[in-house]
Amino acid sequence: MAHLRNHLPTGLLDLDPARLEATGLYRLMRAAGLTLHSARQSVGARAATADEAELLAEPMGAPLLTMRRTTFDDTGRAVEFGSHVYRASRYSFEFQLLVRP
């Protein structure tokens, strides 16, 4: 359904695949004492490359949704960069926009 690629600063977390799959990245970050503050995210769409099509079981050129995100902690430090592709046939994005006072 999706191919997620996340990059973290070296030494930020002691990750193992089983804990990551069972718990989730942001929960592990909070458990390690990180205070997540904000993120900058962009969403787009493009055609699947041959490699992406194979990974996602879609035909080459199929539409994909894309998402790129940089997450910051409460000190302003970037603690995650994510680059994700999603099958447009199986996924949608929904946003809630809030007005600041």
Domains of the chain plus CATH, in order, are 2-87 (3.40.1410.10)
Q: What value, to the nearest 5°, has the Cα angle with vertex 92 and ends 38 and 8?
A: 35
Structure confidence by residue, pLDDT tens digits, 20-53: 889 889 999 999 999 999 999 999 999 999 999 9
Residue 5 predicted with pLDDT over 90: yes
In this prediction, residue 7 carries a pLDDT of 96
Contact at 8 Å (CB) between 91 and 62?
Answer: no
State the average pLDDT over residues 72-100: 94
In this prediction, residue 1 carries a pLDDT of 87
